[in-house]
Amino acid sequence: MPSACSNLPAATPRVTGAYLLPLLETAAERGIDAAALAAAAGLAPDALPALPLADPGTLPESLATHEYIALLDAGARLGSDPHFGLHVGERVRPGTYSVHGVVLMACQHLGQAFELTQRYEQLAHDLGRSQLALDGDVARYTWLTAYPRANRHLVESVFAGIRIFGCWLAGRPLAPREVCFAHDSGADLAEYERVLGVAPRFGTGANTAAFDAAILAMPVPNADPGLFPVLREHAERLLRERTRQGVVGEVHEAVLRRLSPDLARALAPEPVRLATVAADMGTSARTLQRKLADAGATFQQVLDGVRHALALDYLRQDGLSLVDIAFLLGYQEQSAFTHAFREWTGGVNPGAWRERQRMNGY
């Protein structure tokens, strides 16, 4: 498996490799092989394992979040499937969520499962975070995506997966009272209703689902109470290690804010440096550098990770020249951007990468 989808540095927001299997299966059902899917997402043709898997161990341990999002988009386009995210979510299984999913299977009731989802979902992905609030007899679940400008298939796959997994935990069909999405969609509402149990409302400004609070008291029929303490302690150990590296995510978000298009234009030509990001975070450059080192990362790794993800998005936008993209990424010269992009992609120039996407219709 190429390094693009494994052995990621601590600075890279990631998704557990198990998330790939529902996506690959959905793509294969639409006649899309792994090589074509990888190429459409801007990855090496051999970056994904072919189906059927001879061994689940052939899946990478993890992949970058921007790669996963690009694969969702590519699958929808190649398969001409406006509901691709929903169909990926339909295929989730307990193992999709790694340790987080295994812990949920041992919970006594659904309320405990929701509570621990808020604590442990970061062990499965860095795509977003869950919140649950009670208002009388109504419970409202909110998913706060870390990538609000990503394709809608990401959010829809999350909500479909939650419903499917929730029904599996309860041992019976469950349907929400209401589902609301921040994005718009012109796709067939009947398919949303089939997968989610209700036709959602769009353009609401948030991604939420409301359901009867009584559902939280429902037992998990197949739970193993004796196994729960062991699984939870394992999850806590992993969470402690994850928390130790939490500074990497904070720096990632601070760099991303500095490189947002509006701010990049306002600050130009000020470069994104350790000292300026540290000041944004209310700390010193020396302290931030030490904390990153303790987490096994460097500031340059974080900066390169953010720039790489943004560059792939910008290169798919025809209205941006390479000079524009270099500017938005905080480079003083286009040549510096070209040099960095070649390092990220194993020698491919940004112009050549963009042209390959256009030729393939991606």
Phi-psi domain of 154 (left: phi exceeds 0; alpha: psi -120 through 50; beta: other): alpha
* Mean predicted lDDT score pLDDT of the chain: 87
- Pick the range with the lowest mean pLDDT from 9-18, 256-265, 347-356: 256-265
**pLDDT tens digits, one per residue of 263-278:** 545 555 567 899 999 9
Cα angle, residue 146 at apex, residues 314 and 188 outer, rounded to 5°: 80
pLDDT-derived band at 339 (thresholds 50, 70, 90) equals: very high
Around 115, how many Cα atoms within 13 Å sit in the side-chain half-sphere?
10
User: Over 50: is that where the pLDDT of 7 sits?
Assistant: no
Helix residue ranges per DSSP H, the chain: 20-29, 34-40, 65-78, 84-90, 98-105, 110-120, 152-170, 189-196, 228-244, 246-258, 261-267, 274-280, 285-294, 299-315, 322-328, 334-344, 350-359
Around 131, how many Cα atoms within 13 Å sit in the side-chain half-sphere?
9
How far CA 222 is from CA of 109, 116, 227, 346, in Å, comes to 10, 17, 12, 48
Q: Which two tokens stand for residue 50?
A: 């072919």
Mean pLDDT of 31-43: 94
Q: Are 268 and 326 in contact (CB under 8 A)?
A: no
**Cis, bond preceding 269 (omega within 30 deg of 0):** yes
User: Over 50: is that where the pLDDT of 252 sits?
Assistant: yes
CA–CA separation, 177 vs 214, rounded Å?
12
Tally of residues, the chain? 362
Angle, helix 152-170 to helix 110-120, in steps of 10 degrees: 140
If you search the block for the tokens 């130009």, which residue do you land on? 268
Q: Which two tokens stand for residue 323?
A: 């000079």
The model's pTM: 0.70
**pLDDT tens digits, one per residue of 194-206:** 999 999 999 999 9
pLDDT computed for residue 239 by the predictor: 77
153, 155, 157, 160: CA torsion to nearest 10: -130
User: Over 90: is that where the pLDDT of 166 sits?
Assistant: yes
pLDDT-derived band at 261 (thresholds 50, 70, 90) equals: low
Rounded to 5 degrees, what are φ and ψ at 140? -120, 120
Mean pLDDT of 116-140: 90
Q: Say how far residue 273 (Cα) sits from the centre of its chain.
A: 26
pLDDT computed for residue 3 by the predictor: 36
pLDDT computed for residue 354 by the predictor: 87
- Pick the range with the lowest mean pLDDT from 128-132, 137-141, 194-198, 259-263: 259-263
User: Over 50: is that where the pLDDT of 70 sits?
Assistant: yes
pLDDT-derived band at 244 (thresholds 50, 70, 90) equals: low
CA–CA separation, 277 vs 252, rounded Å?
10
DSSP 147-207: -TTS-HHHHHHHHHHHHHHHHHHHTS----SEEE-SS---S-HHHHHHHHSSPPB-S-SS-
